Amino acid sequence: MSTVLYESAYGSARQYAEALAERLGCTAQPLSGADPAQLRTSAEPLVVLSYVHGPSIPAAGFVADNDLGDRPVAVCAVGMTLLEVARAKDQMAGALGKKDQVTRFYLPGRLSYSTMGRRHRMIMWGIIKALKAKREADRSPNDRAMIESHDRDTDHVDLRELDQVVEWAAAHHP
């Protein structure tokens, strides 16, 4: 049976994890309770999902920092960067270090300003201020999307994006 672990900030990584686990016939578990030594003993696929906050991707950090044995591993980063940009940038490639065998997926997420803490709001305000300081012609489509969604709850979760993860897990099932 596959293992699905997650860490979520605004609920989208958890939503994806629970939907994925249902499709794979297992239970999604919080990353905080994961025991790497126990995870190492299985040959079944492991999928770890988490949010992306700037350079921080907890799922990628967990996989990079732990010996998970020879089991197939996939990491899903859930974020607000436009999907084509996130996939082209492939931020997790560097975050995973020498773990080239880890499969990487990028999923569209949710950002909830209405529940966001003061510190995160200030960080987002600074990012938006910097993006607005750019000349319009120099703003990327991703820059424009961030500006347009600033200070508004935004939900881009698309559970159909899990199809590729389910296919990967099926192909790596012993």
* Per-residue pLDDT tens digits of the chain, which is 174 residues long: 899 999 999 899 999 999 999 999 999 999 999 999 999 999 999 999 999 988 899 999 999 999 999 899 999 999 999 999 999 999 998 888 766 789 999 999 999 999 999 999 999 999 999 999 999 999 999 999 999 999 999 999 999 999 999 999 999 987
End-to-end CA distance of the chain: 9
In whole angstroms, give the CA distance from residue 87 to residue 82. Answer: 9
In whole angstroms, give the CA distance from residue 136 to residue 123. Answer: 22
Say how many C-beta atoms besides its own lie within 10 A of residue 127's C-beta.
Answer: 15
In whole angstroms, give the CA distance from residue 90 to residue 75. Answer: 12
Report how far apart, in Å, the C-alpha atoms of 94 and of each of 55, 80, 106, 145, 173 are: 10, 19, 14, 25, 26
**Residue 44: both structure tokens together:** 């079944």
Helix axes 12-24, 163-171, angle to 10 degrees: 40
The CATH 3.40.50.360 portion of the chain extends over 3-112+154-171
- The CB-side HSE value for 51 (13 A sphere, CA atoms) comes to 16
CATH of domain 3-112+154-171: 3.40.50.360
Report how far apart, in Å, the C-alpha atoms of 24 and of each of 1, 54, 121, 167 are: 8, 30, 36, 10
For the sheet containing 46-51, what is the strand order? Answer: 28-30, 3-7, 46-51, 73-79, 103-108
